[in-house]
Amino acid sequence: MNNPQVFLPNVISPSAAGTSKIVNSAIVTASSPGQTNNVSDTSDDPNTTQADDATEVSITPNPSIEATKTQVVSDTNGSGLNDPGDIIIYTIEVENTGNVTLTSISLDDTITDHNGNALSLDGGPAFVSSSNGSPAGTLGAAEIATYTASYTIGSAAAYSGSVRNRVIVTASSPGNTDDVIDISDNGDDDDGNRFNDFTNLINISQIGLSMYVSVICFSF
């Protein structure tokens, strides 16, 4: 008589993936004639010499992270244009794309005009929430954190023609420090650049700029 076999597939969950291994054992109980549940055995891992030991599957840590930054413009003056005084509102999504929990997550935001001159955000990046409820600075496997930031378009930035922005995200995997890094993508895969490209606001109008010329007349 062949030994019966039972196959119990188990999909590795994100929480389990954050550990070093999965440990599994089974206890089989049977009844002999005239008896009830009087025969039992604990499963054995045939790949070891130890009797009745659990079957273990090692999990290889694969830490990784991905940041995406998108933008919308608040037309504060109702001109219908992107011009001085309008506010660019940035949304940053940071996703743990690996299989271990990441901690000490930090964001280094860089914003410049078209000519590379440094600009300053009004505020942020500020943590808003995470998809599984983790606090700021921590992400479980497959979890996404959302941050926001904003910039009010100034005259110098408008004169340059565009505002360029991106963020560098750094995190630590278990037992390591600042070993997981990603540069944000703009979320547009149809722009010819799918990875690590700036989030740009281009074609900024200078309609809000005014020039005043003083004329001094001399009489002789």
Span 147-160, pLDDT tens digits:
999 999 999 999 89
- pLDDT > 90? residue 20: no
Neighbours of 43 (CB within 10 A): 14
Tokens representing residue 32 in the block: 């002999």
Binned at pLDDT 50, 70 and 90, residue 21 comes out as confident
Give how far Cα 66 sits from Cα of 19, 23, 96, Å: 21, 30, 7
Among 8-22, 57-71, 121-135, the minimum mean pLDDT is found in 8-22
What would the pLDDT profile of 175-193 be if each residue is shown by its tens digit? 899 999 999 988 755 544 4
Please state which of the ranges 7-16, 119-128, 146-155 shows the lowest mean pLDDT: 7-16
pLDDT tops 50 at residue 133: yes
Is residue 16 over pLDDT 60?
A: yes
Percent of the chain with pLDDT over 70: 76
5 vs 2, 8, 47, 154, CA distance in Å? Answer: 9, 10, 17, 71
Domains of the chain: 19-58 (no CATH), 65-202 (2.60.40)
CB 113 within 8 A of CB 156: yes
* pLDDT tens profile 65-124: 999 999 999 999 898 888 999 999 999 999 999 989 999 999 999 999 999 999 999 999
Strand segments (E) across 17-156:
21-24, 27-30, 39-42, 55-58, 65-74, 87-96, 103-113, 123-130, 144-152
Partner residues linked to 166 by β-bridges: 110
CA–CA separation, 60 and 57 (whole Å): 10
Task: Kindly tell me if the per-residue pLDDT of 214 is higher than 50.
Answer: no
Q: What is the pTM of this model?
A: 0.71
Which tens digits make up the pLDDT trace of 41-74? 888 878 888 887 788 787 788 999 999 999 999 9
